[in-house]
Amino acid sequence: MPRLLIATIILAGTIAGIAAAQYFRRADPAPPELERAAMFAVTRALPEFALIDHAGQPFGPGRLRGQWTFLFFGFVNCPDVCPTTLATLAAVRNSLADLPGDRQPAVALVSVDPDRDTPDVLAPYVTHFDRSFTGVTGTRESIGVLTDGLGVAVMTGPADAAGNYSVDHTAAIFLVDPEGRVAALFSGPHEAGTIARDYRRIVTAR
């Protein structure tokens, strides 16, 4: 199994455990029965971050309000986890097409490799999976505000002789509600049918 995949699975389990320890489930009414996701009884506010999207437009907390959003962290040169997750989320969106427009989720990929992932690089990458997807980047410091605020682990490896390097990162998917607050977390491994079913239960419960 690739080193990146092992690391991201471990990191996903770690953050899922932290989330479970920090948040409690509703006692009344009973929370929905979920297959994989961890739904928070108390939603978590996002930190105040200032990034840009793949069109060069500002992307801050306000861009995550007004709709449900799957928020995922990754990078264009990721060899396995990131493209697999984006393909999975594209399948999730397709399977949720029957929902009302305000309940169909958006998807945003936040780069953990801003030195290489400029808007021009992100644009064709994310839209290859789904034209509605948004790629997000910024300075390392501004991205760090968001990753640190959500407990996302990011570890950049050493560059080889050609200057290539990889980035190990948390592979969990965060679900942000229409108020711009983190409502649930999906730990890996990710499967489209499971995510879609849990998403429907979470949205119905909210």
- Give the CATH number of the domain where residue 144 resides: 3.40.30.10
Domain span holding position 156: 3-205
Six token digits for residue 27: 């006692």
Which candidate, 83, 2, 39, places its Cα nearest to that of 201? 39
Between 6 and 164, the more confident residue is 164
The structure's pTM equals: 0.86
- Percent pLDDT > 70 in the chain is 86
Question: How does pLDDT run across 181-200, given as a tens digit for each residue?
Answer: 999 999 989 999 999 999 99
The per-residue pLDDT for 27 is 43
State the total domains in the chain.
Answer: 1
Could you tell me if 182 and 43 are in contact, meaning their C-beta atoms sit under 8 angstroms apart?
Answer: yes
Backbone angles phi, psi at 113, to 5 degrees: -135, 65
